[in-house]
Structures are given as structure tokens and as C-alpha cells.
Homo-oligomer: A and B are copies of this chain.
């Protein structure tokens, strides 16, 4: 079965500071026409920052979508043309004040591919060291260190409900430090 949709026409409907919204007219595999609303997003990076005690650095912050305070992994948006790894290391330092000696990608996920092109790159950071830097003035964040084992229980109780953070927590177990 053919699955591909062909874009016939694309109209920009809203130009925001971070997102744009367009409406596409597409031709379905059976030749019928359909409309698609697409949110264009620059993409982002999330970091599972694992301490020497097998905790993750977590960030508590207010989120405009659900209008709630959520507990999430450190994360940030990509600047235009920015390398995701550079973005991730920058965001980790800005949000938590930590640098890392190991920083590697473990996943790439589309947040909600039915309506947005947002792609989030998920990295693991290990070998964490605190820096002197102060967090950005307009970032309102609380940093917490929480054991990975406890975070997994919080996921099971739906107490952590940010998609990228759930993925990072479930994937981080295999990158934990083992006792010698």
C-alpha cells in the first residue's frame, strides 16, 4: 500500500517567536485531498545528566502548555543551524551550572509527528562537575538531584509526565555507574 502524502499547497497561517503554523493541502494515496495543520518548531535537546551517585539532575519549572509546574530533565531549544550536542552542553551549563566529561546521544524523538516537526535529541551526560556560572536571570527554575530508581517509580505513578523526561529516565538505567 502506498502511504506517501504529496503536498500540493502550503499557507503560512501564524508567525510566532518560536513556532510558525502553516496549513498544507495534501493529496492522499487514493488521490483525495485533505488539509493538514503543521506547527514548525526549531527542535530541541534534553539531557539525562547522571551524577556519580546515579541521580539525575532534574529541573522544576512552570510550563505554558499545560499551565503547570513540571519536573523535567534539563532541556532547551536549538538555535538556527546549531549542533545539537553544542546546544545540549550549553543548556546543561545554563540551567544546572554543571559541565560533563562524557556527553553522547541516546535517542532522537518527534514530540508529536501528527502536527509538528519538532525533533528532540536526547543525550546522556556523565562525569558531572559544578561550574561557577550563575543561571540566566529570566530562567525560573529549581534544580533537584533525584535517584534514577526513585524517578522510575515517579514515572509509574504518573508524577513525571513530560515525554522527553520519561524517555530519558527509562533509558538512563543502562548508563548508570556500577559499584566496583
Residues of A with Cβ closer than 8 Å to B? 1-5, 7, 13-14, 16-19, 21, 23-24, 26, 28-30, 32, 34-39, 41, 44, 60-70, 72, 77, 106-120, 138, 140-142, 155-156, 158, 161-164, 166-167, 170-171
The 9 closest A-B pairs by CB, nearest first: A63-B113, A16-B37, A111-B112, A170-B170, A36-B64, A109-B163, A65-B113, A163-B163, A14-B14
The smallest C-beta distance from A104 to any residue of chain B, in angstroms, reads 12
Residues of B within 8 A of A162 (CB): 109-110, 113
The smallest C-beta distance from A42 to any residue of chain B, in angstroms, reads 11
B171 touches A7 (CB 8 A): no
Partner of A114, one of B34, B64, B113: B64
A142 touches B1 (CB 8 A): yes
**Beta-carbon nearest neighbor of A40 in chain B:** B65
B138 touches A62 (CB 8 A): no
Residues of B within 8 A of A16 (CB): 13, 21, 23, 37
How many angstroms from the CA of A151 to the CA of B143 in the assembled complex? 33
B107 touches A166 (CB 8 A): yes
